[in-house]
Amino acid sequence: MIRSSRRGSSSVFLCVILSALVSICFAFIYSTIQYTTASRTDALMRLAGISLLSEFDKDILEDYGLFLVPGKDRDLSLKLDHYLMYTFGQEPQTSVGSASVSSGGFPATDPAAIREQILACVRSGGVQSDSSGSEPLISDTDAGRALRHGPTIASLPSRQLPSQDPLSRIGELAGQLTDVTDIFRDGSERYLLSTYVLNTFNCTTASPSPDHFFQREVEYILNGGLSDQENRKKTSSDLRTLRLPFNFAHIYADETKRGALAAAAETLTPGPAAALTQAALATAWAYAESVNDAELLMKGFRVPLNKDGASWAIDLENIIEETAGSGEPASPDRVIHPKENKGLSYDQYLRVLLFLEDSDLMTGRILDLIQINMRKNVNGSFLIGEYCSGITMETAVNGRRYSYETLYQRILYH
């Protein structure tokens, strides 16, 4: 009886141990299946995300260096569901729930995301640095084009952004503008943005691309006017405003000009009023020179930021003659050339103005031009708002939820 009892106890003990081992084995098997499924799902979802984003618009990539994919959530969700079912659909032990894709977190109209792509594109050599050495071209007489299509205007991405006058920052940055090091420092974010703009889009002194709607696209990015003529006029005004303080400073820094002003003022209004006359003459002289500077630049000639005698064009006698009757500052009817053609080119002055532009507004107007040109050349109903630069994906496999974000990374440019 004692031996039988001991044998029974041993059998029970062995059964308990065996059951525990079997349970552990099943647990390991289940964990392995779960881990394998999770690993496969993870790899598949990442591959599916890359596959979805690989359907980017080739025209936008070739013309503008940007990766954008049509972002209709329903279509993207159906494609993701197809990818998952193609792999898991024949496995009865794997239960796959419905897949969903959302592009709402990465709209193509998001200035920050597009700006990152632009910077990556330029850094990787997608846009070559401009020479900033434009020579005089044909006279700028063409009024260009005007955008009048209401639906196109209403759908422009920049219309959702607050407008800003870039020259409103000149007072704040006037000291910096006397030293253009920051503006032309290769590698800075604003330098890269302006390089992209100047090398991708038309401007007044460049031969216009026949595939682009506007002839003065850089000027549009600066001012947002709906016609080439309007943007030329606004840019000319910006250049005058930019040049005025430098020309005014040069007049008072140049001893010869300062003496000529004093003598002219004393001749015109002797006595205490001479000081006021001198200030008025100096302002009219600086303004007239600024108007002339703007026209010189738009015809492809150069104007230095800080002038000397050889780069000064307008004589004081002309100012006195033209303002004597009306009392108004003079504006030259024609371009007057200085002795020397030196200094910054029109492109470089545009770079200065772009430096003053709000980055979000600049990016928004870049997207405007992409949409306008795509409507002109590819698809008359093209909307940049229907595109995205990334997606969020979700699905359920064996009751477990999976969620991923996939977007175009800088590595795609290498």
Lowest mean pLDDT among 156-165, 224-233, 340-349, 376-385: 156-165
Q: Does the pLDDT of residue 356 top 80, yes or no? A: yes
53 and 183 assigned to the same domain: no
Measured CA to CA, the distance from residue 303 to residue 338 in angstroms comes to 9
Measured CA to CA, the distance from residue 51 to residue 76 in angstroms comes to 10
173 and 61 assigned to the same domain: no
Count of all residues that appear for the chain in the document: 414
137 and 201 assigned to the same domain: yes
295 and 348 assigned to the same domain: yes
Beta strand residue intervals within 13-156, DSSP E: 69-70, 100-102
290 and 404 assigned to the same domain: no
- Average of per-residue pLDDT values in the chain: 83
193 within some domain = yes
User: For the residues 278-299, what does the mean pLDDT come to?
Assistant: 94
User: For the residues 90-111, what does the mean pLDDT come to?
Assistant: 85
212 within some domain = yes
255 within some domain = yes
Per-residue tokens: 19: 């059951």
How many domains are there within the chain?
A: 2
Q: What is the pTM of this model?
A: 0.83
395 and 361 assigned to the same domain: no
Measured CA to CA, the distance from residue 397 to residue 395 in angstroms comes to 7
278 within some domain = yes
139 and 58 assigned to the same domain: no
141 and 204 assigned to the same domain: yes
pLDDT at 135: 47
Residue 216 contacts residue 235 (beta carbons within 8 Å): yes
pLDDT tens for each residue of 232-272: 999 999 999 999 999 999 999 999 999 999 999 888 888 88
216 within some domain = yes
146 and 70 assigned to the same domain: no
91 and 164 assigned to the same domain: no
133 and 99 assigned to the same domain: no
Measured CA to CA, the distance from residue 236 to residue 51 in angstroms comes to 47
121 within some domain = no
User: For the residues 97-106, what does the mean pLDDT come to?
Assistant: 88
301 within some domain = yes
pLDDT band of 410, cuts 50, 70, 90: very low
Measured CA to CA, the distance from residue 169 to residue 171 in angstroms comes to 6
119 within some domain = no
| DSSP state at residue 209 | P
332 and 269 assigned to the same domain: yes
Domain that holds residue 67: 2-106+389-413
> Alpha helices of 201-356 — where are they, by DSSP H?
217-223, 228-253, 255-268, 274-298, 316-324, 346-356
For residues 387 and 43, the model is more confident at 387
pLDDT at 210: 87
pLDDT at 98: 83
